[in-house]
Copies of this chain bind each other. A is one copy, B any other.
């Protein structure tokens, strides 16, 4: 086959590989572009501050299933996941645009329900809806949100500046959104087989909410500001803890050691994992969509934040040659594998 007709499947490269391959062909020309592709948000000069810009696309049948995802929650989540990217840069979100592609199965009332969720999120995170595009789509719902945030220039936190011996911290708990998804998928199958069987999700309320209505951890950003603490590196946990640790380690040219017994796992997540015959630690490591913040902090600053109730220290940044590893509860050391979410 000739070179021109070569066909490489996107799955062979993966999302990160594809982005790398494409972005290296682009060169920045504007002095206001401080940081382009490669972090949670782009960093753009704006007077004596910087603007942060991030964008996410959510596609029906790939990122959400409307058979159990209420449109209002989906509107909320679409904003929250973008705000989370701004939080991950230690910034504050200010404006968003929301674009929708809608098939004719969506009514005005359905669109209004979606925007009701957008509006709640705008209130929770103090963001203004400033634009968007509304168009039709041949099939299903497509959502594209862009968010602009702001930060003082010297307070932006990147993925690349973690230092050896920094403490690795994470907010909240992990794996819940994945287990919520498992429960929802199982109930959907039951419902398909027997439509009279109404699912009772009461006992799974917390993890279902983690999946359907995640929040962005702006509370941590405000707490850090109050304490006068700036993390050395930060990222939000959208693809799974292992994958995000991999990004921080690679970009900071360091290794990572974490401890299995320090992983924050909610009891309901734990029990549901066991019920599904899954290892809870693996769910915490590789479950995506928790939208918690993973950050590294110098040992001297750790003293200031160690009493924050919703932050767990899970390990430390190691020398690069030591790689990424986890010390298990049994005391063994196993390599961490960054699985992430592969949508391709």
Contact = CB atoms under 8 A, between A and B. Distances in A.
A63 B23 CA distance: 26
A323 to B, nearest CB: 28
A104 B36 contact: no
Interface residues of A, number: 81
Contacts of A95: 30, 32-33, 36, 42, 44, 53
Nearest to A19: B134
B44 A47 contact: no
B26 A133 contact: no
Contacts of A211: none
B9 A108 contact: yes
A7 to B, nearest CB: 4
Interface centre among A51, A101, A131 (most CB of B within 10 A): A131
B101 A59 contact: yes
A41 interface: yes
A146 interface: yes
Interface stretch (A109-117, A190-198, A228-236, A260-268): A109-117
A251 to B, nearest CB: 15
B18 A133 contact: no
A51 B138 CA distance: 34
A128 B9 contact: no
B47 A48 contact: yes
A246 B29 CA distance: 37
- Tell me the number of copies of this protein: 2
A97 B59 contact: no
A59 B137 CA distance: 6
Contact of A59 (B12, B33, B131, B136): B136
Interface string A1-39: 000001111111101001101110110111011011100
A220 interface: no
Given A119-B26, A136-B343, A343-B136, A104 B9 contact: yes
A108 B59 contact: no
B134 A36 contact: no
Nearest to A55: B97
Interface of A: 6-13, 15, 18-19, 21-23, 25-26, 28-30, 32-33, 35-37, 41-42, 44, 46-49, 51, 53-57, 59-63, 94-95, 97, 99-102, 104, 106-109, 111-112, 115, 119, 122, 126-140, 142, 144, 146, 148, 150, 343-344
8 tightest CB-CB pairs across the interface, nearest first?
A47-B47, A42-B130, A144-B144, A8-B108, A46-B46, A36-B130, A146-B146, A57-B99
